[in-house]
Amino acid sequence: MFVSKAAVVGAGTMGGEIAQTIAAAGFRVVVKDVEQGFVDQGLEKAREVTRGQLRGLVEKGRLSEEEAESRADETVGLIEGTTEYEGLGDVDFVVEAVPERIDLKRRVFAELDEVTPGHAVLASNTSSLSIAEMGRATSRPDKVVGFHYFFPASVMRLIEVIEGEGTTSEETMDAAANFAQAIRKQPIRCGEAPGFVVNRVLIAAISEVWRVQDAHDIDPKEIDKVISESGAAPMGPFFLSDLLGLDTVLHVAEHLSESDGGERFFVSPKMKELVASGHLGQKTGRGFYDHPG
Ligand SMILES: NC(=O)c1ccc[n+]([C@@H]2O[C@H](COP(=O)([O-])OP(=O)(O)OC[C@H]3O[C@@H](n4cnc5c(N)ncnc54)[C@H](O)[C@@H]3O)[C@@H](O)[C@H]2O)c1
């Protein structure tokens, strides 16, 4: 495995747990965000997830309390935080997890190109945007690849490894797929059609629910109740969107809707209103639901 140290850029809903998946497999990892408070939240998330996983092993009798404690210290000790690009000068693999906006991602990729060694693979956790466009913001588009985790990153095994159209090399695709396996994930290789594989299907299905909700002005909680109680899914799409972050879901839905002229993909006006008022779901305490604390 060519990776001995990795980095994660963006320590929000996804970043902290992504760092945890890397450290839990024994790799050193630096986590970068723009403010110390965000870095601390990401590190705290990584600690909490690590403790939770080890507690599970203690309960099953597979580890003693002492072993779990020392394993947790070891894993968390592999993660460091920064608000600058300190510690990225010797990384081999970077996962970018900043908000889903192509202008921001291109800026971050241009910066990563400056601060990381030339051999490093620069990967994006984007849910829908073009890998080739991000690659073209760097001097190494062949080493830029999609590396799309699913929420929650510490639990979901799948990672979409996405080839930038006409840019990502086969060697980089192999390196990313190998790294996914090294951190005990299941890679699936795909091209960069908007939404890739999973979100293309998921957002198409949720779009229909948004369309029905809007056309008949149904209470989103009622729809969620029908879906979860019928056993069609473990939770309804409105609650799920709150957990994922309404701004993120909105960006993905808008991108998909633009890509097909709005035929299949519909953007929920109610979600747009919530995002415009700063209600982004669980991360801000309010979305379709209230999330106290
Ligand atoms: N939320 C999900 O369920 C989910 C699932 C899969 C993929 N994704 C993708 O992961 C990416 C991140 O999504 P998220 O939900 O974690 O977003 P988020 O808004 O919760 O977190 C983004 C973090 O990036 C930080 N950031 C902004 N600019 C930065 C910069 N220049 N340098 C470093 N950090 C910066 C922000 O401060 C914030 O902490 C998006 O591309 C999204 O599409 C999200």
* Tens-place pLDDT, residues 259-276: 988 888 999 999 999 999
For range 85-101, the mean pLDDT = 97
Q: Give helix then strand counts, H and E, for the chain.
A: 11, 8
- Structure tokens given for 213: 């909700």
Which residue among 98, 102, 151, 197 has the greatest number of ligand 1 atoms within 8 angstroms of its CB, and so is best to mutate?
98
CB 185 within 8 A of CB 158: yes
Which of 148, 251, 255, 279 is an active site residue?
A: 148
For range 122-132, the mean pLDDT = 97
Domain ranges of the chain: 5-191, 198-284
For range 168-182, the mean pLDDT = 98
Q: Is 220 in the pocket of ligand 1 (CB under 6 A)?
A: no
Domains 5-191 and 198-284 share a fold: no
pLDDT value at 189 more than 90:
yes
226-236 burial, b at 16+ Cβ within 10 Å, e below that, comes to ebbeeeeeeeb
CB 18 within 8 A of CB 149: yes
* Tens-place pLDDT, residues 38-51: 999 999 999 999 99
Which residue among 248, 271, 280, 284 has the greatest number of ligand 1 atoms within 8 angstroms of its CB, and so is best to mutate?
248
Which atom of ligand 1 is nearest the CA belonging to 42? 39
- Hey, which CATH number is domain 198-284, 1.10.760.10, 1.10.1040.50, 3.40.1360.10, 1.10.1040.10? 1.10.1040.50
Residue 1 confidence (pLDDT): 62
* Tens-place pLDDT, residues 194-214: 899 999 999 999 999 999 999
DSSP label at residue 141 = G
- Hey, which CATH number is domain 5-191, 3.90.1170.50, 3.40.720.10, 3.40.50.720, 3.30.2130.30? 3.40.50.720
Residue 121 confidence (pLDDT): 98
